[in-house]
Structure 1
Amino acid sequence: MVNKKSASAETKPAAPKKKRLRLSAEKRKKQIIQAAQKVFVKLGLNGTRTRDLAKEAGVNEATLFLYFKTKQEIFDAAIVEPLGRLAAMQMSQGEAFSKATDESSKEAIGAQAHKEIYQYMETIGPLLSTALFSDDKTAKEIYKRDVYPMIEQFGEAANLSFGLKNNKEASEFVVIAALGLSFLMQTHHRLLGVKPDVDVITNRIANLFIHGVDSLE
């Protein structure tokens, strides 16, 4: 005698397989970059393998290499290119700041410029930490090849903003102070698990650079 319940269970159709989401080339590349940012922070540049990146992105290595030839190219897309975009934005802000004719306009432009830096640091700050606090040899290579050229670009924005007359030493000091402050503030809030008011923070940073410490009171 056939057990009707068993027969019914045996003939139950299998659940349909989930179709893999087909992404455009642009979205797939973005997905790989976002996955790479997580893996680089977790494993470091030297400790990360392309198969780790592919796994996190949900693709195979063959697909990964359709978009990037090497791990270095992925690292560049994850950190160097965002720094380049930020430098271009700061050049625009520096030009606007140099043309501003009143204090309130300068304060607004300065606050926006520092807000851009702070918000970018939410993504690239952890990556910078991973890259620059790895082994000394790797850190020096990354800094000289990838980070310092960007500081020089930021220096052009500082020259525009503050009329430094192409004084490289002074412009680098301003840039490193500005980037370093946003980097450490963002890291401070992230590690403490604090969600700050970004507008308040970046207004304070801008006023510090424009008016000095007295403006913080």
Structure 2
Amino acid sequence: MTDSKQNTAEPGGRRRRLSAPERRRQIIAAAQEVFIRSSLSGARTREIAAEAGVNEATLFAHFESKEALFEAAVLEPLREAVSEQVAIARARAPQDQPARDASLQAHDRFLRTMLKSYPLLVTALFSERAAGEEMYRKHIFPMIRTLADITRERAGEDRLKHVDVELMTLMGFGVHLMVVMDHHFRGTEMDVEKTAAAITAMFDHGLRPD
């Protein structure tokens, strides 16, 4: 098989060879489609290569195994979202932005990431029990701990001494996942800004009428 997408078109019909990062992104995007259809065990590298328009040699030049590609396709979007939230929180002085605005920004960003990652995340966690358990312990829960740590860092231990921050972070992760799942299965389009505002209000004020 030849690499049918080795190059991309430029003005005038010339073909531009993709850079290594561009090729990697292309393969990841193709793998995401295949993993959603077939799960980790059902997917074949030749199927992923065909979806990406490359040969298997090119695929393995970028990823040492199907498992490494699965991890990149499933976890990288979530890692990027978590890293972005940590960077924003640490770069901003506490007085630069009201706490509610920062919370709203975080919920909005995480909802958008979940909308993109949901099918892959569910495939990763639930298609194969042993693999899902390992992925959660090795990758997902450390992300939750990172988010909990940045909450402690920003708020201070005194303000959080009566709060189980890890449980609160798990609740936040679960709310975002379930809201996205609800829209996915009902086939409805989410108003992300409105939903993020509602989640922010719920976490800031609970169910109190005032």
TM norm structure 2: 0.82
Q: Does 1:192 align with 2:178?
A: no
Residue aligning to 1:145: 138
Q: Which runs of 5+ in 1 are unaligned?
A: 1-17
- Aligned-pair distance for 1:154? 1.6
- Aligned-pair distance for 1:110? 0.7
Residues of 2 paired with 1:129 and 1:79: CA distance?
10
Q: Does 1:59 align with 2:45?
A: no
The equivalent position to 2:123 in structure 1, one of 122, 126, 130, is: 130
Q: Does 1:90 align with 2:85?
A: yes
Q: Does 1:182 align with 2:176?
A: yes
Residues of 1 paired with 2:107 and 2:29: CA distance?
23
User: Which whole-Å deviations, capped at 9, do the CAs of 1:46-101 have from their partners, x for residues lacking one?
Assistant: 22121121111111101111111111221222122222222222224544788248
Residue aligning to 1:3: none
Residues of 2 paired with 1:19 and 1:150: CA distance?
35
SS in 2 for 1:194: coil
Residues of 1 paired with 2:145 and 2:6: CA distance?
48
Residues of 1 paired with 2:172 and 2:99: CA distance?
16
Change beyond 3 A, Cα 1:144–1:35: same
What number of residue pairs does the alignment pair up? Answer: 196
Residues of 2 paired with 1:89 and 1:127: CA distance?
20
Change beyond 3 A, Cα 1:54–1:200: same
**Aligned partner letter, 1:89:** E
Paired residues of 1:110 and 1:206 also in contact (CA < 8 A): yes
State which structure, 1 or 2, has the greater radius of gyration over its C-alpha atoms: 1
Q: Does 1:48 align with 2:59?
A: no
Residue aligning to 1:11: none
TM norm structure 1: 0.79
Residues of 2 paired with 1:96 and 1:84: CA distance?
18
- Aligned-pair distance for 1:23? 2.3
Change beyond 3 A, Cα 1:46–1:86: same
- Aligned-pair distance for 1:126? 1.1
Paired residues of 1:97 and 1:110 also in contact (CA < 8 A): no
Q: Which runs of 5+ in 2 are unaligned?
A: 9-16
SS in 2 for 1:88: helix
Residues of 1 paired with 2:154 and 2:203: CA distance?
11
Residues of 2 paired with 1:40 and 1:63: CA distance?
19
Residue aligning to 1:8: none
**Aligned partner letter, 1:23:** L
Residues of 2 paired with 1:132 and 1:98: CA distance?
36
User: Which whole-Å deviations, capped at 9, do the CAs of 1:149-172 have from their partners, x for residues lacking one?
Assistant: 2122122122234435698x9222
